[in-house]
Amino acid sequence: MQSGHTRGFSRSYGKRPPAVQLSRRAALWLALGALLTPAAAAERPVRIVVLGDSLSAGFGLAAQDALPAKLEKALKAKGLPAEIANAGVSGDTAAGGLARLDWSVPEGTDAVILELGANDALRGADPKQTRAALDAIIRKLKERKIAVLLAGMLAPRNFGPEYVAAFDAIYPELAAAHGVLLYPFLLAGVAGEAALNQGDGIHPNVAGVDAIVKGLTPKAEELVAQVRAGKS
């Protein structure tokens, strides 16, 4: 594997069986949404779901150290009340996220951080299939008036220039086509850095998650602003 942004990408992101804990929070969202007036709704926390793989699920970490929990804390520290649900499934692909979209993103969700595609790249999946699945997810979310922040991924550099070019283009092109927010590379500054990853070399440790959150927070702030402005 070549050095660079994707150094260390050699195995699948996560091997645990799928597990998404959304039911309690989803039920609360539904109940509160039915009771809130428009004015009250403007004051409530923005409800965000992180739809992703083990990078958001928090593979190898305590729940409070996973990306969604730490990002929620970062937003609240900036005076932006948000509730971020973790819909990360270890080992999931873009197609897997599409298949479970309806139950992973419950009614009452205001925004989604879409973090899928790392496993597609690691497995050398056809970029056209990954693009099609992500495109369908974004379309379905926009139909539901849910704002989207697309978290990008880069292909392993040893897959060759044609594959790299095709895969890397997926995220900026989809973001532009659908007019959604883009964070170009979720693992910027983290991929390939031993001090920021667990022993497997591909899953961020606590310090790595902190680094991701630091980079992602400004875009998450924009996402919250979009919701507050009624844009999706």
| Domain map (residue ranges) of the chain | 23-228
For residue 35, pLDDT over 60 is answered with no
Residues annotated catalytic, as ranges = 54, 200, 203
pLDDT, the chain, mean: 88
pLDDT digits (tens, 9 = 90+) for 51-103: 999 999 999 999 999 999 999 999 999 999 999 999 999 999 999 999 999 99
The 8-class DSSP code of residue 204 comes to B
CATH node for 23-228: 3.40.50.1110
Neighbours of 124 (CB within 10 A): 13
Give percent above pLDDT 90 in the chain: 80
Asked whether 107 and 29 are in contact (CB, 8 A), the reply is yes
Residue 20, CB half-sphere, CA atoms under 13 Å: how many?
A: 26
Give the Cα separation of 142 and 15 in Å (integer). 31
Contact 229, 87 (CB under 8 A): no
Could you tell me which residues are beta bridge partners of residue 88?
Answer: 52
